[in-house]
Chain A
């Protein structure tokens, strides 16, 4: 394998070591090498947000970061946040309000929503919309997503 490097990182709390091509994106690494297919590939140029994952506490585009750049990092994906129940309240609200249709954008959307919940739990409806502006949803028209996040942040129902 040309231009391959050894990396070690923590994914959803589990240490993993692999030899990866230097050009491999983080999201391709997660999907192809680790079988974590919950992070989706929607555009591969950093616009749609379907591949959003969390690296050392910050949400990033998995298609704009290389796997080798995650060497030594702590990476969280939707599978990990689901099992730890960290996004359980958001998932419940999304489910009850049907804040997803095809579900392709949903893992990335939940990642962005959780990020807002951690950083600005008092966010207004406009701030919620602004925070989601990097996550593309073609099915819902966004309103139910905004409603669900608002409910979780402010306890509205």
Chain B
């Protein structure tokens, strides 16, 4: 029987039947607004024990003796363990990946054995009936230490005069060199060569909710259920299984509400592994919540770099080559399983990224030091690459007396040049630098701002305008981690189920940390199936429930998880129409779903509500044909594979005023034009950009983990480590260019890290633009009043 071929959409029918592109509020925000979320520390368990850690007071020291006698006698104490005791239940790990050639790191234990390598490393665990009692007992542990020489300076570490891990031979964790060839020739023939050294202060994520874990081992079943404030439940399921010796199927990781993550909560932390091991050892639930002081000492830090960059260009302002030398320090261990080599590697991959030069040389050294470990924090490497590139580009423009916007226009990769391979080897599918630049300059009214700036300078008011163009890694393929041997999924999955009531349940492996993942999945599912959003429920963050997947990192949730939801939604639509076709005795091709009902595709005439279809399918399948089985649960997966990364692009601008008497910088306004492909929810995208910009501003102006020469963290509390508050952050204007990726049906690229990637460079350039008439320049972040006054020669 030949079925009639109907047009996909008859003239006059509505093509867009949904929510994609609409600023729909997030349904799951309501519980958070009432304080009725479920963060790990909100959970209540019978027989719950609490752990507190005795941490090294020294940056590098041998543990000569640990005496638990008094601690064991303290009220409420259940037991006290050292590293050897925990190591019997939890094997050590090594943070290396095969595709980062030559990367090395020593084995790391959950609790340090024999030696502590940074101030704050856990060397004993006290388990008690309450956290208060555990902390009381920690104070009663008696320890003898033999202090060892601490390596704290990056250059000192590189010199190898004192080697932290003698078995490794030197302090170099990872090094990389990249050379297109022809760089020396390009510099030799250049009309202008500019060179500058930039320093980036080590800083950290400061999630408002500290790292939190509640591990619940069931000895009868040999199962471990872990309630975890994490971005990657399936990765952690594998890690707990592997290192605790519990079959993977017996490990369930649940991440409900997560109080901020920003990359901080995607790593394996020794104290969290110890907590899981303690639950196994004691056969009862054990909880650890990092307090704020522990968070500063042990949450991963990031971005300690010193980079010298050179740029060669012609007198017309054509960039010919970049030459880069990056030195970065990561603490005493490469963090498992993502490694601490990725950040520097990204600096090499991304520096110079928006521009069309063909010659590029880069050298990277990543060294061990006796400070806290560093690893991937929001925008990994991008803020450094962008600031370097945009800083040296502005310096070149200044030397040529060329407007920085015009200098960029001459050098940005043309919008019709794609697909394009950048000299570092990364490939761009399609970017829109020139559209973004044009939109930005219009949005900020660039020309009149320049005029206002010149007028104000006459009155000794020093305003600056800074631009920062950028590229950004999103939607990573297995090339990011999987090819290096990490058991980190680049694939995500979504299961959609039509319930008997006509509701649609979505279960997806991408997790929610507040960015709105569950909200956009509801939008996509509702649009794909043809139901209203109030008919959709979304479940994420439970390895026992959702399909397998990578979770939330590298701006991948919307582009990868969202595509899986879209594909599953379309499959569910098709399966529902199969049932409808049998029930109504009509050809499937004539049917569709609109507004929670089966309708005639052409006339939109309502044929049957979905709840009636659900009722028949689940409770009266006896009336369906014998040779037909309804399938109202479907699962689909998606992995981007055509490109290693789906690059996005954007450009930011900052307007600042520098007080040359006090050195204070006032941020007046910030603009961000971003191309993240299909925009699913403009409000959520803007809020990702704004939140990201705020974190980037923190890096540029306020945030730095300061260590004493002995390796003591000097400002490890919220009063002394300054983050932007409501009075500091300016209004941030956002706009979008939409260049959907052709790799997926949805076309979405990532956006979570763009703000953080570009803001530090834009703010730095704005400050230097303000200081230019005074002959001053700053290149060491954060740009504190002290550093600005020193640059101005106001203080020595």
Contacts and interface: CB of A to CB of B under 8 A. Distances in A.
B693 interface: yes
A110 B208 contact: no
A73 to B, nearest CB: 20
B586 interface: no
Contacts of A142: 694, 725-726, 729
A136 B25 contact: no
B719 A100 contact: no
Contact of B514 (A42, A44, A103, A133): A103
B731 A137 contact: no
Given A40-B259, A45-B292, A140-B690, A95 B33 contact: yes
Nearest to B259: A104
Nearest to A104: B259
B347 interface: no
Contact of A140 (B34, B207, B691): B691
Contact of A79 (B35, B44, B725): B35
B726 A146 contact: yes
Contacts, number: 169
Given A138-B695, A138-B723, A102 B729 contact: no
A138 B726 contact: no
Given A103-B29, A140-B694, A91 B34 contact: yes
B710 interface: no
Contacts of A35: 44
Interface in B670-699: 683-684, 687, 690-695
Given A138-B208, A138-B695, A104 B260 contact: yes
A143 B684 contact: no
A98 B719 contact: no
Given A48-B208, A141-B690, A43 B34 contact: no
B511 to A, nearest CB: 12
A139 interface: yes
A38 interface: yes
Nearest to A105: B208
Given A133-B727, A141-B732, A102 B687 contact: no
B725 A136 contact: yes
B41 interface: yes
Contacts of B515: 101
A95 B33 CA distance: 8
B207 A78 contact: no
A12 B539 CA distance: 32
A4 B31 CA distance: 35
A78 B37 CA distance: 12
A101 B694 CA distance: 14
A104 B208 contact: yes
A48 B718 contact: yes
Main secondary structure of the interface of A (DSSP, over half): loop
Contact of B207 (A91, A94, A132, A138): A138
Given A37-B42, A101-B691, A141 B729 contact: yes
B296 to A, nearest CB: 10
B39 A40 contact: yes
Contact of A100 (B132, B258, B513, B514): B514
A102 B292 contact: no
Nearest to A79: B35
B513 to A, nearest CB: 6
A140 B726 CA distance: 10
A50 to B, nearest CB: 6
A100 B515 CA distance: 9
A130 interface: yes
A132 B725 CA distance: 8
Contacts of A134: 725
A153 interface: no
Interface string A25-45: 000000100011111111111
Contact of A104 (B209, B725, B726, B729): B209
B36 interface: yes
Nearest to B32: A103
Contacts of A96: 25
Contacts of A45: 292, 717-719
A38 B42 CA distance: 8
A136 B723 CA distance: 8
Given A40-B208, A42-B208, A104-B208, A141 B32 contact: no
Nearest to A21: B132
Nearest to B684: A98
**Which among B208, B690, B692 has the greatest number of chain A C-beta atoms within 10 A?**
B208
Given A102-B261, A104-B39, A129-B727, 16 more contacts: A40-B35, A40-B259, A42-B208, A44-B292, A48-B718, A79-B34, A79-B35, A82-B34, A98-B26, A101-B514, A102-B514, A132-B725, A132-B726, A133-B726, A138-B691, A142-B729
8 contacts: A37-B39, A40-B208, A98-B684, A100-B29, A103-B31, A103-B33, A140-B690, A144-B687
